[in-house]
């Protein structure tokens, strides 16, 4: 496949790396990660093969929700650096060919944001209708509360103005009223500002909650402020297309999906290659609406939460079929759009789309202690500790990540096998300082560890055992394995662009899939079991005129005249293979030995 066909749609086969500036690298020795420190480590990302950095929130904040409670959308938190240091980070990343996207957190603001301070000062405030108010705490479904450990309602009473404001998340994060055209105009200015400073797009936080409708109750009287009283609609955010925003309808304003279309159109006018990566944790039929259905004119990429959750179920069972079923069910994204695949992110590892019995299986396998679980629906652990440090399993999972159809997204520290620190509260157990060296504070900072936001990981996964510098020197390390996977993934555009097919493998533990485009084929096979497995595959359209060359290990496999192939996989083994005519096949160890023999002769 020609690179000239794919370069404009860079996100379709990117390698995205999510990092938190505050926990990545401390450049001034105050115990807080900053842009100065992150800039000094961009070469690590380049050597790894990262093509896009996703920055978690770095805006000014009271920091009650790890930066997601924002007080200024146009600046950098002083603890993390200056706007000038942000621009320097962007320049150095661009020099290495790395694009940068950032979290777009416009569901809500901090209650300390100047907009909200002004809004709560008077019912006649200019910013009053930038938020959502009601005279009474409207009935809400307890299932709609995102953080049941901290909140029991979606409405909070404001004593100053005598009304309740709506908050989908924490009470100190009042929701913005996106049905207000002034709010939408301001959000466009925020997008435009950061794009002018070089961002190539945004990861949109909690998309279903961003666009959920808030509708006036039938028969409800207008509040004393003259605004419409409001109540939430849509339950958990998955019903966004069904509720009607009466206020927006009466004013002739766009519907919620038109809001996303307008945002995407604005970005395309400013930069045709800009993208939106959406956090949309919904069932596949509902999720596809946020791509813009067949038009693909809303969110550019969506995370595949269902595939991720089924993968953990497959790992727990040693059976590939739950993941295989999800991949068969997953709809193809619209043209020029893409799925984003991931093993772990910065939140709890949610298992909410599994049945209660399935979730119990995963809990028992990977987080049996209550302290390892969160909200009754997820785990607050990283992959290496969940798999008991078994490097065979860990390497297989990342091979799976980079071979699955979609764009792989890594969370910082995954490339070296970092684990969690369960002494840290809630979801932040996985947001510990990056481990660069085995020495002082893991190379994260020279400051006293008591000044860190979260303490370092300890024990067998601590920096003395798991760090970048040691793994860079070890050819068998996880870091070098993932570097190799990225190199091969980037050299196999079929995996990102091709039509994929799940193949019968002849063994429940084996997942086999092929990706085809422009007459080229890549085959990937993974073993979810702790035992050898024999796979019998039929590759339609291929015959003995072609061979399969291993891309991760040495070897070539013959294809039968009827397209049949026999493969052997070790426990948790993995194979990536390219189909080629023998004259054009990639080199393997046999070719190298033959070449050396000719040279010696």
Pick from 325, 399, 293, 314: which is nearest to 362 by CA?
Answer: 314
Is 66 an active-site residue?
no
Pick from 48, 66, 44, 46: which is nearest to 57 by CA?
Answer: 66
Count of CB atoms situated within 10 Å of the CB of 6? 14
Count of CB atoms situated within 10 Å of the CB of 578? 21
Let me know how many helices (H) and strands (E) the chain has, helices first. 20, 24
For CA atoms 128, 129, 132, 135, the dihedral sign is positive
Helices 391-403 and 478-490: crossing angle in degrees, nearest 10, is: 20
- The three-state secondary structure class of 215 is strand
Q: Are 382 and 418 in contact (CB under 8 A)?
A: yes
C-alpha angle 46/428/13, rounded to 5°? 30
Active-site choice (20, 205, 298, 414): 205
Q: Are 435 and 418 in contact (CB under 8 A)?
A: yes
Euclidean distance between CA atoms 98 and 91, whole angstroms? 10
Active-site choice (279, 319, 358, 415): 279
- The three-state secondary structure class of 147 is coil
Euclidean distance between CA atoms 38 and 396, whole angstroms? 29
Place of tokens 């100190």: 172
Intra-chain end-to-end CA distance of the chain, in Å: 38
For the chain, the 3-state helix, strand and coil shares in percent, each to the nearest 5, are 35, 20, 45
Euclidean distance between CA atoms 492 and 508, whole angstroms? 26
Euclidean distance between CA atoms 320 and 189, whole angstroms? 46
Place of tokens 């380049």: 46
Q: Are 160 and 124 in contact (CB under 8 A)?
A: no
Pick from 454, 397, 464: which is nearest to 430 by CA?
Answer: 454
| Per-residue DSSP letter, 54 | E
Query: In the structure encoding, which two tokens stand for residue 281, read together?
Result: 């944790």
Q: Are 154 and 137 in contact (CB under 8 A)?
A: no
Is 205 an active-site residue?
yes
| Per-residue DSSP letter, 242 | T
Q: Are 469 and 475 in contact (CB under 8 A)?
A: no
Q: Are 40 and 367 in contact (CB under 8 A)?
A: no
- The three-state secondary structure class of 478 is helix
Which string of b and e fits 218-229 if b means at least 16 CB within 10 Å? eebeebebebbb
Euclidean distance between CA atoms 521 and 475, whole angstroms? 29
Q: Strand 574-580 to strand 547-550: parallel, antiparallel, or no bridges (unpaired)? A: antiparallel
| Per-residue DSSP letter, 72 | -
Q: What are phi and psi of 108, to 5 degrees?
A: -155, 175
Query: In the structure encoding, which two tokens stand for residue 454, read together?
Result: 């979260």
Catalytic center residues: 205, 279
């Amino acid at each position: 496949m020609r690179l000239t066909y794919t370069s404009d749609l860079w996100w379709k086969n990117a390698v995205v790396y999510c990092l938190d500036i505050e926990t990545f690298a401390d450049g001034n020795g105050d115990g807080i990660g900053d842009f100065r420190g992150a800039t000094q480590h961009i070469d690590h990302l380049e050597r790894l093969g990262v093509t896009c950095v996703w920055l978690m929130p770095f805006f000014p904040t009271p920091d009650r929700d790890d930066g997601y409670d924002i007080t200024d959308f146009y600046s950098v938190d002083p603890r993390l650096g200056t706007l000038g240091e942000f621009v320097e980070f962007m320049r150095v990343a661009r020099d290495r060919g790395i694009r940068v996207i950032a979290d777009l957190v416009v569901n809500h603001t901090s209650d300390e944001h100047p907009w909200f301070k002004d809004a709560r000062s008077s019912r006649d405030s200019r910013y009053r209708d930038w938020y959502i108010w009601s005279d009474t705490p409207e009935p809400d479904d307890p299932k709609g509360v995102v953080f049941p450990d901290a909140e029991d309602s979606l409405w909070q009473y404001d004593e100053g103005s005598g009304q309740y404001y709506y908050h989908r998340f924490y009470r100190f994060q009042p929701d913005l009223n996106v049905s207000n055209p002034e709010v939408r105009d301001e959000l466009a200015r925020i997008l435009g500002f950061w794009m002018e400073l070089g961002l190539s797009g945004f990861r949109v936080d909690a998309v279903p909650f961003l666009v959920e409708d808030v509708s006036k109750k039938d028969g409800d009287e207008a509040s004393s402020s003259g605004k419409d009283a409001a109540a939430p609609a849509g339950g958990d955010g998955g019903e966004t297309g069904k509720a009607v925003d009466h206020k927006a309808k009466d004013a002739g304003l766009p519907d919620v999906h038109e809001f996303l279309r307008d945002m995407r159109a604005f970005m395309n006018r400013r930069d045709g290659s800009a993208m939106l990566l959406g956090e949309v944790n919904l069932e596949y039929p509902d999720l596809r609406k946020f791509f813009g259905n067949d038009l693909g004119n809303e969110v550019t990429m969506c995370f595949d939460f269902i595939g991720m959750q089924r993968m953990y179920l497959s790992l727990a069972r040693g059976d590939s079929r739950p993941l295989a079923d999800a991949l068969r069910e997953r709809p193809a994204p619209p043209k020029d759009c893409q799925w984003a695949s991931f093993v772990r992110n910065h939140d709890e590892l949610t298992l909410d789309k599994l049945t209660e019995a399935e979730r119990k299986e995963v809990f028992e396998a990977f987080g049996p202690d209550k302290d390892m679980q969160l909200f009754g629906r997820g785990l607050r652990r990283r992959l290496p500790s969940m798999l008991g440090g078994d490097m065979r399993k860990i390497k297989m999972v990342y091979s799976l990540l980079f071979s699955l159809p979609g764009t792989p997204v890594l969370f910082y520290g995954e490339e070296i096998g970092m684990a969690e620190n369960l002494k840290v509260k809630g979801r932040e157990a996985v947001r510990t300082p990056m481990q660069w060296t085995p020495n002082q504070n893991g190379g994260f900072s020279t400051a006293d560890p008591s000044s860190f936001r979260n303490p370092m990981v300890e024990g067998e996964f601590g920096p003395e055992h798991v760090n970048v510098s040691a793994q860079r020197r070890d050819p068998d390390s996880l870091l070098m394995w993932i570097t190799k996977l990225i190199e091969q993934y980037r050299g196999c555009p079929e995996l990102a662009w091709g039509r994929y097919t799940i193949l019968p493998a002849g063994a429940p533990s084996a997942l086999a899939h092929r990706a085809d485009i422009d007459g080229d084929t890549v085959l990937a096979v993974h073993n979810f079991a702790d035992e050898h497995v024999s796979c019998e595959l039929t590759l339609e359209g291929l015959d003995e005129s072609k061979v399969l060359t291993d891309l991760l290990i040495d070897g070539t496999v013959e294809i039968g005249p009827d397209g049949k192939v026999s493969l052997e996989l070790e426990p948790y083994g993995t194979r990536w293979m390219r189909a080629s005519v023998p004259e054009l096949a990639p080199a393997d160890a046999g070719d190298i030995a033959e070449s050396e023999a000719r040279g010696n002769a």
